[in-house]
Amino acid sequence: DSGVTQTPKHLITATGQRVTLRCSPRSGDLSVYWYQQSLDQGLQFLIQYYNGEERAKGNILERFSAQQFPDLHSELNLSSLELGDSALYFCASSVDSSNEQFFGPGTRLTVL
């Protein structure tokens, strides 16, 4: 158990809908990262927050947005969902922008 929690574990929704994925980092970690992993693919970095502020941005679509709240939990919002958005979404956290990230169990999103 990495100490990072993600909810929900599974999510099934329809095209065009909007969903919110939630992540709670390890106690004391200030950085939160979001990744997308499609079937049998590597992890695609989406976005990083550090202590409430956006720190780095990857290949995140304009339909996707994220934020980190004062209690350091983070949410990833996915809107106008498409079939291709079906994937495993991982959240990770680290103390700062250190090289070791601790990953949560992931949220499996299925868009029908």
Partner 1 sequence: GQSLEQPSEVTAVEGAIVQINCTYQTSGFYGLSWYQQHDGGAPTFLSYNALDGLEETGRFSSFLSRSDSYGYLLLQELQMKDSASYFCVRNMLTFGGGTRLMVKP
Which two structure tokens, joined as six digits, stand for 53? 């502020």
By the rule CB under 8 A, 38 interacts with partner 1: no
Q: Which of residues 12-31 bind partner 1 (CB under 8 A)?
A: none
By the rule CB under 8 A, 64 interacts with partner 1: no
- Buried residues in 13-29 as b, exposed as e (16+ CB within 10 A): beeeeebebebbbbeeb
* Separation CA 107–CA 89 (nearest Å): 5
Residue from 29, 35, 87, 111 touching partner 1 (CB under 8 A): that is: 35
Residues lying near partner 1 in the complex (CB under 8 A): 2, 33, 35, 41-45, 48, 56, 58, 90, 92, 97, 99-106
